[in-house]
Amino acid sequence: MPSINPCFEQLSPRYIFPFIEQKLAELQQTTPEAKILNFGIGDIAEPLATSIVHAICSAVQEMGWRSSMRGYGPSTGYSFLKEAIVRNLYAHLGIESKDIFISDGINSDIVNILDLFAPTNRIAIPNPSYPAYKDACIIEGLHRSLLELPCTRETGFLPRPPSEGCDLIFLCSPHNPTGMAFTRMELKEWVEYALRWNALILYDSAYSCFVNSEDTPRSIFEIEGAQKVAIECCSFSKSAGFTGLRCAYMVIPSDLEIKYSSLSLQTLWNRRQTTKFNGVAYPIQKGALASLEGKGKEETEAQVRSYLYLAQTLSQGLRRLGFTCFGGRDAPYIWWRTPDNITSWEFFDLLLHRCQMICIPGEGFGSCGEQYVRLSAFTTAPSVQEALDRLATL
């Protein structure tokens, strides 16, 4: 009989997002007439942009003609997409197309990259944070030396460099779940920390398209020295509504100082991907390309602006009702302080049953998320208005 990876015993028995989905399904079953407002899981609320639909459909048609059919593509992505990413997002930052590795999602990249590291590493993870970081470390047996980085009101709801050293650091800005983003100075402190301790930053940039504050970088490579110490994970999920299509990319600079004897992380990742991954579908990569330029860029940028507008409407509305909340300025998430003496799960239940409104309890993202819930602004204007009306009677 095969023996099972014993690390699974260390995992919490439930992953927060499916659990919330289950709660939603239960309410729908017991109260079918309830008009539920879902501010929970950060999934898109707008249909795909027309240019993306056209690009994907015509790529599928190409594949149906003998003269332009395609089979397996390159494991790490087609050069047309890598070049467009560099041209539109990184040319001024010295990143080249050989540094870009296309994948099916940040979720895969940020956990699969752990294949490259030994279990002896000390790994720093923000608390609260996107739950996959910690769970993946546990599954891979890399959890023996975890360092939690509190993101509290005192730290501005973002992780700050600790006084001790570590080897790998998960950072996410704009941060999920708190909706706050690093300023240039704050991110510089992290890059300096990584340079000082020879650490590697795994930078999750899933929400970079929402950054609009002038002093907030969209890429860690805007900070001098970052190419020596950081890998950046980006995705089309939130910038172009690809949550159901799946396309992302990782930037692994060739200047990274971390190496395995003479092998660079680029070489190791390439080896890993060519073994374990057969690439993203050609039509999907064509769709991603369409989102980067011309009409597709305009359409997707308009969607991002409208989600941000909803985030701002929601947070202003909450404040008008006397609640305390953070985030929502450079991110589609609002970090809402629960009323005194009410835990995040109790507040979740209260909102669910009194307002038929779904949020995510902050505790589900880590112990420092207690006393907060996260609201997602991937929603519609009527839902925001309806939520504020219902909350006024809470």
Q: Which residues bind ligand PLP (CB under 6 A)?
A: 42, 105-107, 130, 172, 176, 204, 206, 235, 237, 243, 248
β-pairing verdict for 123-127 and 146-150: parallel
Closer by beta carbon to ligand PLP, 130 or else 269 = 130
Do 110 and 170 touch, CB atoms closer than 8 A? yes
Rounded CA gap, 86 and 334, in Å? 31
Minimum distance of ligand PLP from residue 36's CB (angstroms)? 20
- CB of residue 248 to ligand PLP, shortest distance in Å: 4
Nearer to ligand PLP, 110 or 355 (CB): 110
CB of 65 to ligand PLP, least distance (A): 31
| Chain CA centroid to CA 277, Å | 21
361 upstream amide cis, omega within 30 of 0: no
Encoded tokens for 117: 């590291």
Residue closer to ligand PLP (CB basis): 176 or 178: 176
Contact between 50 and 280 (Cβ < 8 Å): no
User: Cβ of residue 260: shortest distance to ligand PLP, in angstroms?
Assistant: 26
Phi and psi for 75 in degrees, rounded to 5?
A: -55, -35
User: Measured from the CB of residue 3, what is the shortest distance to ligand PLP in angstroms?
Assistant: 30
Nearest to ligand PLP of 206, 290 (CB atom): 206
Nearest-CB residue to ligand PLP? 105
Computed on alpha carbons and rounded to an integer, the radius of gyration of the chain in Å comes to: 21
How would you class 146 by CB atoms within 10 Å of its CB: exposed for 0-12, middle for 13-18, buried for 19 or more?
Answer: middle
Quote the least distance from Cβ 175 to ligand PLP, whole Å.
8
Shortest CB 204 distance to ligand PLP, Å: 5
Whole-angstrom distance, CA of residue 19 vs CA of residue 293: 38
H or E stretch covering 307: helix 294-320
Nearer to ligand PLP (CB atom), residue 142 or residue 355? 142
Closest CB to ligand PLP among residues 99, 204: 204
- CA distance linking residue 191 with residue 228, whole number of Å: 9
